[in-house]
Amino acid sequence: MSAEKTVLAVLGTRPEAIKLSPLVLAGKQRKQFDFLVCNTGQHRQMSDQVLDLFGLQADFDLDVMRAEQTLTGITVDILTRMQDCLDRCRPDWVVVQGDTTTSFAAALAAFYRKIPVAHVEAGLRTGNIYAPWPEEMNRRLVSELATLHFPPTQSAAENLLREGIAPDRMLVTGNTGIDALKGLVKRLADDAMLRDRAANLLNAAGLKTGSWSQGRPYVLVTCHRRESFGAGLEAICTAVLRLANRFPGYDFIYPVHPNPRVRETVNRLLATGIANVQLIEPLEYLPFVRLMAEAELILTDSGGVQEEAPSLGKRVVVLRDETERTEGLETGLIRLAGTDPEKVVGFALDALEGRWPLADSADVYGDGRASERIIDAIAAHSPL
């Protein structure tokens, strides 16, 4: 007997792969679904690594990424190549996640075919279309295209209600990224071979062994958003240098994003021979979770890290002027610094000198069951 509904989950970046993998796994457990995966290849290597970690493979590969490709080029390529993918699998639903160029272009391609779209992690807003850029506009446009909306929090749902989305078309589910995190943390605790795999990947990325395996404390740094390119990233690097000089007993570990503009700035300003600044290669999700779980402090502009850190009880300095994830601020574990070196250094001093105490972990972004709720909602909703 054929499946009742064919569902196509479209991803292209590492965050999308992380947050959609638990959903795909949950969907594959249901007999009424034929759950398929399309990888646009927007971030080829990083998304493939995540799928492999979760035991998944893409059923369709759009292979869109090219060197120095513009946002326009990526969007056009995804729209064009999605046509063949949709013709071949004829899905009843297309599922997209978040706010990437992949999610926007895939939702638009589905809309052109009158295929209903389910939007995971819907309703996040800063109110500024250029912060984050282009993500804020991407997610607003996906909200216009979607049939079902799955906001992770009540505040995200309220954003959608203000924009005129009907309550019966949305469900607050929690964040599927927390499903992925909780599952992986449990696997790391239970599986010595997986812990060794994470350690080997950290070493292969260039991390000095003593930094994390022999009790030496460290601060984890990540920064990759487009709005930080240029002066913003330079200011962040300045703050890291000041902190590294102030705290020689701490390592400052920075997995540097592969974007050439990020690498040029970071290498120019931080690859200066300071012993306790470690610039390493981009990390797969598995070693990154292990590194994050043992960090004293995290400096980041990542939305996903803002969600994950409260569940791990970690303090985070957010390197953005605005955040759409305001619930984390209320836990006391997250502070918003922007790219101002004085604020970044000041908040870090509070953490490392004992004025910003650790708090209990807080599951403000989910309880690990978001994927099941989303699958239930799609199963209950008849396609258009």
Q: Reply yes or no on whether 381 is catalytic.
A: no
Q: Reply yes or no on whether 257 is catalytic.
A: yes
Q: What is the pLDDT of residue 43?
A: 82
Tokens of 269: 């300003």
Domain ranges of the chain: 5-174+368-380, 193-352
- Rounded Cα distance between 103 and 381, Å, is 21
Q: What is the pLDDT of residue 272?
A: 87
Q: Give the CATH class of 5-174+368-380.
A: alpha beta
If one counts every other C-beta atom within 10 angstroms of the C-beta of residue 379, the result is 14
Q: What is the pLDDT of residue 230?
A: 80
Which of these is catalytic: 139, 224, 325, 373? 224
Task: Convert the pLDDT of each residue in 168-212 to its tens digit.
Answer: 999 999 999 999 999 999 999 999 999 999 999 999 999 986 556
Q: What is the pLDDT of residue 312?
A: 92
Which of these is catalytic: 16, 121, 307, 308? 121
In this structure, the strands spanning 33-39 and 60-61 are parallel
If one counts every other C-beta atom within 10 angstroms of the C-beta of residue 66, the result is 11
Q: What is the pLDDT of residue 139?
A: 98
Q: Reply yes or no on whether 135 is catalytic.
A: yes
Tokens of 17: 């792969």
Question: Quick one: fold of 193-352?
Answer: Rossmann fold (3.40.50)
Which of these is catalytic: 34, 48, 77, 135? 135
Phi, psi of 38 (to 5 degrees): -115, 125
pTM of the model: 0.89
Which of these is catalytic: 44, 169, 197, 226? 226
**Cα 11–Cα 89–Cα 85 angle in degrees, nearest 5:** 55
Closest CA to 254 of 305, 321, 300: 300
Q: Omega into 134 within 30° of 0, i.e. cis?
A: yes
Closest CA to 6 of 78, 64, 74, 60: 60
With contact defined as beta carbons under 8 Å apart, do 122 and 170 qualify? Answer: yes
Residue 75 makes CB contacts below 8 A (sequence gap 6+) with 101, 104, 105
Q: Reply yes or no on whether 360 is catalytic.
A: no
Instruction: Classify residue 319 by burial, with Cβ atoms within 10 Å: 0-12, 13-18, 19+.
Output: buried
Closest CA to 334 of 346, 347, 321: 347
| Residue 64 DSSP symbol | -
- Rounded Cα distance between 108 and 105, Å, is 5
Low-confidence ranges of the chain (pLDDT < 70): 1-3, 209-214, 227-228, 382-384
Asked if domains 5-174+368-380 and 193-352 share a fold, the reply is yes
Side-chain-side CA neighbours of 257 within 13 Å: the count stands at: 20
Which of these is catalytic: 140, 216, 257, 263? 257
Which of these is catalytic: 16, 99, 227, 308? 99
Task: Convert the pLDDT of each residue in 125-170 to its tens digit.
Answer: 999 999 889 999 999 999 999 999 999 999 999 999 999 999 999 9
Tokens of 93: 């639903």
Beta bridge partners of 28: none
Q: Is 273 helix (H, G, I), strand (E, B) or coil?
A: coil
